[in-house]
Amino acid sequence: MTDQLLDQALVEEATKKSGLVWVRGLHVQGDGMSDGMPSQALWHVWHDGAVCLVGDGPGEQPLPGLVDGGGAVVTVRSKDKGGRLVSWSAKVVELAPGSEEWDAAVAELKGKRLNAPDGEAMPGRWARECRVLRLEPTGETASLPEGSLSAPPLATSATTRQAAPAGLPRLLFKKRRRA
Domain membership of residue 90 (yes or no) is yes
Q: How far apart are CA 120 and CA 65, in angstroms?
A: 29
Mean pLDDT to the nearest integer, 150-160: 76
Instruction: Give me the domain span that covers residue 94.
Output: 2-144
Mean pLDDT to the nearest integer, 30-37: 54
Q: Which of 30, 165, 7 is nearest to 89 (CA)?
A: 7
Domain membership of residue 174 (yes or no) is no
Domain membership of residue 160 (yes or no) is no
Q: What is the pLDDT of residue 24?
A: 92
Note whether 36 and 27 are within 8 A (CB).
yes
In the beta sheet, which residues pair with residue 51?
46, 135
Domain membership of residue 158 (yes or no) is no
* CATH number of the domain bearing residue 130: 2.30.110.10
Whole-model pTM?
0.77
| pLDDT for 64 beyond 80 | yes
**Helices 100-112 and 122-129 meet at what angle, rounded to 10?**
120
Domain membership of residue 27 (yes or no) is yes
Domain membership of residue 152 (yes or no) is no
Q: What is the pLDDT of residue 158?
A: 73
Mean pLDDT over all residues of the chain? 85
Q: What is the pLDDT of residues 72-122, one digit of tens each?
A: 999 998 878 878 889 999 999 999 999 999 999 999 999 888 888 888 899
Domain membership of residue 101 (yes or no) is yes
3-state DSSP assignment of residue 98: coil
Domain membership of residue 175 (yes or no) is no
Q: What is the pLDDT of residues 118-143, one digit of tens each?
A: 888 999 999 999 999 999 999 888 88
Q: To 5 degrees, how large is the angle CA 39–CA 41–CA 89?
A: 55
Q: What is the pLDDT of residue 44?
A: 95
Considering only residues 142 and 49, tell me which one the structure prediction assigns the higher pLDDT.
49
Note whether 135 and 74 are within 8 A (CB).
yes
Q: How many distinct structural domains can be found in the chain?
A: 1
